[in-house]
Structure 1
Amino acid sequence: MFENLQDILTSFAALLCGFATGGAWIGVVVVPNESFDHMDYSRADRHVRDVLKSGSTAIAGTLLAASAFAVLGGSFGAAAIAALACFGFFTNRWTLSKRTEPSSPPGTRQRKKSQRIVAVALSLMFGLAAAAAGIMAVFGI
């Protein structure tokens, strides 16, 4: 009976990792392409940063649940990779958060483009890690 439960839990972990990978793909590839096609640059940049910030929280929660299901299902490798990807998506909250003290001197413009670029790069890397965790959960690793 417990073997069947472990199979179900690892299947849920793989499903949630796939959901997180799809969410990362939509937030990193689809939304920026559509935003920069249909909006002016400053609105599109702000929109993409907002989508990455809010989407990363949901994806991190999904990966945390996937990690818990993988541990309960006995797929410890998948759990470790999913937890690492969860932390990576959570760091987007810090990357894209508003600064209390501006990093540039007063009177100069503050460039937020680099924040978006770093968040997109992190999301791509940890999206691949989420996909790897899902594949590992399928094979019970």
Structure 2
Amino acid sequence: MLENLQGVLSSLAALACGIAAGGTWIGVVVVPNESFDHMDYTRADRHVREVLKSGSTAIAGMLLAATAFAVLAGSFGAGAVAALAAFGFFTNRWTLAKRAAPSAPPGTRQRKKSQRIVAVALSLMFGLAAMAAGIMAAFRI
């Protein structure tokens, strides 16, 4: 009975990691391409930032669920990688957070583009980690 439960839990962990990886692809590749194709630069940039912030929270939650499923299934490697990826998606909230005081010196413009680029790069890297965790969970590693 416990073997069957471990099989179901590892399958749920792999499924949750797959959902997180798919959400990453949509939030990092599909949405920015469509936004910059159909909106002016300022609106598209703001839209992509909001999608990254809100999507990162949901993806991190899904990866935390995958972590729990993987650990309960005995797939500790998959659980560790999924937890690392979840933390990575939480860092997007900090990367894209509004600053109380401007970080640029007075008289110069603050470039938010670099924050968005860092958030997209982190999302892509941790999306790969989510895929790796899903594969590890499928093989019960």
TM-score > 0.5 by shorter chain = yes
Q: CA RMSD in A?
A: 0.6
- In the aligned structure 2, how far is the partner of 1:103 from the partner of 1:5? 51
Mapping of residues 1-141 of structure 1, within 5 Å? 1-141=1-141
Aligned residue pairs: how many? 141
- TM-score (structure 1 length as normaliser): 0.98
1:78 is displaced (CA, Å) by 0.3
Structure 1 stretches of 4+ with a deviation exceeding 4 A read: none
1:104 is displaced (CA, Å) by 1.2
- In the aligned structure 1, how far is the partner of 2:33 from the partner of 2:113? 15
Deviations 1:11-44 (A, max 9, x none): 0000000000000000000000000000000110
Gaps of 5+ in 2: none
Percent of aligned pairs with the same amino acid: 83
Amino acid aligned to 1:11: S
Amino acid aligned to 1:70: A
- In the aligned structure 1, how far is the partner of 2:106 from the partner of 2:56? 31
1:106 is displaced (CA, Å) by 3.0
Gaps of 5+ in 1: none
- TM-score (structure 2 length as normaliser): 0.98
1:109 is displaced (CA, Å) by 1.7
